Structure 1
Amino acid sequence: MNHGRKLYLYIATSLDGYIATLDDSLEWLFKVEGEGDNGYSEFFNTIDTVLMGRKTYDWIIKNDVGEFPYKNKPCYVFSKTLTGKNDHVEFINEDITSFTKRLKSTTGGNIWIVGGGELLHHFIKNYLVDEFIITIAPTIIGKGIPLFNELDTEVKLKLRNIRRFNQFVELHYELI
């Protein structure tokens, strides 16, 4: 059991378990009527570090209008090809598990894994995610990028909370 910083998955998914369409679109998500920001600001204020994969970073740079959304928090991007830092992120080329365990053992607040699917699979497989906050949209998109890939192991969770934001439902689990 980790007694340092906690790593959170905070993500939205379709009812059939996809985080995006095959062409990386999230349009289906924005068509659902929520309530305010569906708890995003509340969650965002609880974390002080952001982790993401290279594909997610590239998507943010390509599709996000305006300022980098995580500019006031340390942000690490796992990449096999990019190195160094820029104004907003530091690229990490080392072993994901070792880096994350070391980061979790340092002083600080909670850590958020923003995405993506491949990186999340690695985190889950290695029991690095401490809490899962999954918001489900009442939309079936049929095919796309799955929230969870096939695992060779069982991951046991305990339900902590359920909240409703108009048409969205948020499920909060912790690793046991």
Structure 2
Amino acid sequence: MRKLKYHVASTVDGFIAHEDDTYGAFLQERLVKDGEHITDYLASFATYDAVLMGRRTYEPALKVGVTDPYPMMETYVFSRSMKESPNPRVKLVGEDALGVIRRLKAQPGKDLYLAGGADFASKVLEAGLVDEVLIKLNPLLLGSGIPLVTRLRGTQSLELLSTKVYKNGVLLLRYAVMPEGAPGTNAVPPPGTPPAE
């Protein structure tokens, strides 16, 4: 079975984009827009067969005329509001997102790249479909923005698999997502959860 990896850039304070879904801080900061971490990130594309993303992750590229941001992979955009794909290579998924992801994982091939965003990744995490989380931790503070995940119903435990520190201060953190029921998983119920009887 193929692994699904949530591979995402984040600031130290846990944001993956500005509140308007743009990525200006990541692109303008001289220390993080260039360097060995970019080379490694681009090389990682060879380990993936397909990229999965929500509409809000896809739209910034679309707004500047890029309809196929990952031409080296099969591309799936998950959206209930988009009615047709702007590119014949980009597969639009409007219904049964989790079922589609389960079928993709069951197919032979290389791993699957979950590019975001926060709401979509949270739903896929809660469904138990994410196998690894790879965070490119950038030495930046935004103070506000789109968080790494949103509205998880419980605690999701991660096991650190590896770290890599780059000269410009970027860290690559690779975690395995612990299966539900593993020690520490969902140990803390979300606020407002009634006590078990």
The alignment's TM-score, normalised by the length of structure 2, stands at 0.80
**2:26 matched to which residue of 1?**
29
Distance in 2, matches of 1:130 and 1:94, equals 22
**2:48 matched to which residue of 1?**
47
Match for 2:171: what amino acid?
V
Distance in 1, matches of 2:136 and 2:70, equals 20
Per mean C-alpha deviation after superposition, the further-off stretch among 79-88 and 25-34 is: 79-88
Distance in 2, matches of 1:26 and 1:111, equals 22
CA contact (8 A) 1:121 1:148 kept: yes
**2:74 matched to which residue of 1?**
74
Match for 2:175: what amino acid?
Y
- Is 1:174 the counterpart of 2:176? The answer is yes
**1:61 matched to which residue of 2?**
62
The alignment's TM-score, normalised by the length of structure 1, stands at 0.89
**1:11 matched to which residue of 2?**
8
Deviation at 1:93, TM superposition (A): 1.4
Q: Secondary structure at the match of 1:128?
A: coil
**Structure 1 residues 168 and 63, CA gap change in structure 2 (3 angstroms):** farther
RMSD: 1.8
**Structure 1 residues 63 and 147, CA gap change in structure 2 (3 angstroms):** farther
Per mean C-alpha deviation after superposition, the further-off stretch among 20-29 and 95-104 is: 20-29
Percent of aligned pairs with the same amino acid:
32
Match for 2:102: what amino acid?
K
**Structure 1 residues 118 and 148, CA gap change in structure 2 (3 angstroms):** same
Q: Secondary structure at the match of 2:31?
A: coil
Aligned residues: 172
- Post-superposition, which runs of at least 4 consecutive aligned residues in structure 1 deviate over 2 A? 81-88
- Listed as ranges, the gaps of 5+ residues in structure 1 are none
CA contact (8 A) 1:84 1:90 kept: no
CA contact (8 A) 1:32 1:138 kept: no
- Listed as ranges, the gaps of 5+ residues in structure 2 are 179-197
**2:130 matched to which residue of 1?**
129
Deviation at 1:38, TM superposition (A): 5.0
Match for 1:151: what amino acid?
L
CA contact (8 A) 2:21 2:56 kept: no
Q: Secondary structure at the match of 1:33?
A: helix
**1:155 matched to which residue of 2?**
156
Distance in 1, matches of 2:103 and 2:141, equals 38
Distance in 2, matches of 1:27 and 1:84, equals 28
Distance in 1, matches of 2:45 and 2:145, equals 26
Q: Secondary structure at the match of 1:135?
A: strand
More relative contact order, 1 or 2 (CA 8 Å, 6+ apart):
1
**Structure 1 residues 81 and 151, CA gap change in structure 2 (3 angstroms):** closer
For the pair shown, the structure with the greater C-alpha radius of gyration is 2
Match for 1:152: what amino acid?
R
User: Could you give the per-residue CA deviations for residues 42-67 of structure 1, whole angstroms, max 9, x where no partner exists?
Assistant: 211100101111121111111466x7
